[in-house]
Structure 1
Amino acid sequence: MGSSIVGTSPTEVGLRDGLQIEKRVLSTDEKLALARALIDAGHTSLEVTSFVSPTRVPQLADAAELLSALRPIQGVEIKALVPNIRGAERAIAAGPDVLVFVLSASDTHGARNLNRSSHESLAELQEIVGMASAAGVRIDVSLSVAFGCPFEGDVPVEKVIDLAGTMQQLGILRVSFCDTTGMATLRQVRSLAEALRDELPGIDPAFHFHNTRGLGLVGVLVALEEGIVRFESSVGGLGGCPFAPHAAGNVCTEDMVHMLHEMGIETGLDLTRLIDAARLAEQLVGRTLDGQVMKAGPRSGLHSRDG
């Protein structure tokens, strides 16, 4: 496996998915400092914010200001999540490189998270595609609870493939399949990857795991075995869904990169600088984060025999 896959393309989502549930609301300047640390580590794709209601998610109320500050940075793809038409209008005005439209694979989670069913979200997506095309902005899709819903249980692979097929018909080829609350089994990961390969070869998938039950990196490994090369992760393991019970943090970026590098898979990221970024994130949010490599260091970091 390590010899057949030579590189992956991680997207950092800590600034959005990570910070949206933190009790401490970071200032725009603090978010910029973290973004610059992540870019210095080699990140070329960052999902930095979401244009959601500031009443529901006050942690991301400065979305337009943050995008404005990041826009001059060259060579980095800046993404902003949008849940609906109003969010898309605000985001397009702020000028991200990519709009990430979020919808749920289950109607119950969609109602709790987005106030709309999957098919209602798809109807809005069709309108947003036209808006984004006119503005010259690419649209990606983030499909929440693609492996399991905390309210409905397992989500059938057939339903996920049907939703992704509709997106492909709309001209959207980059879709993130998200294990929003950490319910994915390894069998589900394999089944979805196989189905995407066999039934929707035109889709360019990313897999997005949460570490709720300690299986996040195992999910990455299984997906790699099935040929998935794009992943989303969060610095320090920050993250979780504010509208789903017991949702824990994302797969930790520096832990995932450490694993990939030890497998001989390139990421274009500097692990030492990623660890520095994780420590900065920990300092900014004011609590101990879940990342393991930031605590123990990489396995190649030997100790003095005199120590």
Structure 2
Amino acid sequence: MTVVLRDVTLRDGLQLTGKPLPVARKVEIVRSLLTLGVPALEIGSMARPDLVPAMDGTLDVIRELTPAELGKCWIWVATPRHVSRAAEAGARNFQYCLSASDTHNQANLGRSTEDSLAALPEALELAADVSGEVQLCIATAFTCPFEGEVPPGRVLDIVLDPRTDGSSDVVLCDTLGQAIPEQVHHLVGRTAAVDDRPIVYHGHDTWGLGVANSLAAIDAGATTVDGSLGGLGGCPFAPGAAGNTATEDLVFALRPDWLTPAKFGELVRLAGGLLAELGEPNRSRAGQGAQASTTSFPWAS
């Protein structure tokens, strides 16, 4: 089975950073990642810039990219209006997000999970009008910062809700990074058993299990895993959520066909430059190892 690594640096990765990136720099990062061979990217969010300042300029980023580039890029949306505005700018891949936990959905989106589900069919119609795709993204699929552990049955109820019919994939998010491999394997496996849509696993490395959980998800049937450069990321509406699983760590573990030691070195340097710009620490263990290892190891920088 071929596993896709999707880099989410320009969306989830930037959400908690204190320094905004100019549109031109975001476009440069998109093109650098695509040139290296990264097959899928999440490049921004339609969240209100006054609530998530780092997402300002998302529509301008979309407008700067070619249709071919946008074919590999995803935009975070939460309402039909988001889909409409992003589609008008040229986007064709939309990640429609809601939370398994109603409390987190209220904190994150200002509405109930039921309200988000009720609006999904319209979002699907708007995407279909431009021959687009919509992923069903379920945040807090494992734990919620306000309610604690989320029962797997709650997630499966959302997956099986007929209003989600027509979405292209199911994204299961360990928003807080508190899940362990056994839990990830169980939920991904149960989801795969009841639904035939491809599964994306979106993990955070808060408790140091980002790569282990991603590998468990793949073993249970996930076909895509998310990561961000240097382990950037976190949710501003989920206290305790730290960075995503590092892209460098995931590709070093997975060794996708497009990756070579030379490209890995370029990826590490790209991450290092971005982290320096943002004043953020490097949380990637593989990235750190590449810079500290002896040159006799082919994956050393």
Alignment TM-score > 0.5, same fold: yes
1:227 deviates by 2.9
Distance in 1 between residues matched to 2:112 and 2:163, nearest whole Å: 19
1:85 deviates by 2.4
1:112 is aligned to 2:104: no
2:169–2:197 CA contact under 8 A, matched in 1? yes
Distance in 1 between residues matched to 2:141 and 2:51, nearest whole Å: 23
Distance in 2 between residues matched to 1:139 and 1:277, nearest whole Å: 29
CA distances 1:170-209 after superposition (whole Å, capped 9, x unpaired): 2113111000111212221121122123222x12101111
AA of the residue aligned to 2:284: G
AA of the residue aligned to 2:12: D
1:78 deviates by 1.5
1:152 deviates by 0.7
Q: Which has the higher contact order (CA 8 A, sep 6+)?
A: 1
Distance in 2 between residues matched to 1:238 and 1:109, nearest whole Å: 21
State the match for 1:71 in structure 2: 66
Which residue, 219, 228, 239 being the options, matches 2:233? 239
Which residue, 41, 45, 60 being the options, matches 2:55? 60
- 5 Å-filtered alignment, 1:240-259, equals 240-259=234-253
Distance in 2 between residues matched to 1:193 and 1:74, nearest whole Å: 29
Q: Which runs of 4+ in 1 moved over 6 A?
A: none
- 5 Å-filtered alignment, 1:178-217, equals 178-200=173-195, 202-217=196-211
State the match for 1:134 in structure 2: 129
Q: 1:114 to 1:206 in 2, by over 3 A?
A: same
Q: Which moved more, 1:203-212 or 1:273-282?
A: 273-282
1:279 deviates by 1.5
Q: 1:242 to 1:82 in 2, by over 3 A?
A: same
Report how many residues are paired. Answer: 293
1:302 is aligned to 2:292: no
SS in 2 for 1:142: strand
AA of the residue aligned to 1:133: A
SS in 1 for 2:265: helix
CA distances 1:52-106 after superposition (whole Å, capped 9, x unpaired): 1111111111011000112355485121111112222211111112011110010
1:272 deviates by 2.2
> Percentage identity across aligned positions?
33
Which residue, 266, 273, 287 being the options, matches 1:273? 266
SS in 1 for 2:160: helix
Q: TM-score, normalised by structure 2?
A: 0.91
SS in 2 for 1:14: coil
Which residue, 270, 282, 306 being the options, matches 2:275? 282
Which residue, 18, 21, 29 being the options, matches 2:16? 21
- 5 Å-filtered alignment, 1:148-187, equals 148-166=143-161, 170-187=165-182
Distance in 1 between residues matched to 2:156 and 2:295, nearest whole Å: 43
Q: 1:224 to 1:85 in 2, by over 3 A?
A: closer
Distance in 1 between residues matched to 2:99 and 2:214, nearest whole Å: 21
State the match for 1:47 in structure 2: 42
1:40 deviates by 2.0
State the match for 1:219 in structure 2: 213
Which residue, 124, 130, 143 being the options, matches 2:119? 124
Ranges in structure 2 where 5+ consecutive residues have no aligned partner: none
1:47–1:79 CA contact under 8 A, matched in 2? yes
1:18–1:234 CA contact under 8 A, matched in 2? yes
1:81 is aligned to 2:76: yes
State the match for 1:230 in structure 2: 224
1:44 deviates by 2.2
Distance in 1 between residues matched to 2:219 and 2:40, nearest whole Å: 23
CA distances 1:35-63 after superposition (whole Å, capped 9, x unpaired): 22211221121110001111111111101
2:121–2:164 CA contact under 8 A, matched in 1? no
1:283 deviates by 2.5
Q: 1:52 to 1:213 in 2, by over 3 A?
A: same
Distance in 2 between residues matched to 1:173 and 1:117, nearest whole Å: 23
Distance in 2 between residues matched to 1:75 and 1:241, nearest whole Å: 24
1:35 is aligned to 2:22: no
1:99–1:140 CA contact under 8 A, matched in 2? yes
1:144–1:177 CA contact under 8 A, matched in 2? yes
Distance in 2 between residues matched to 1:120 and 1:267, nearest whole Å: 41
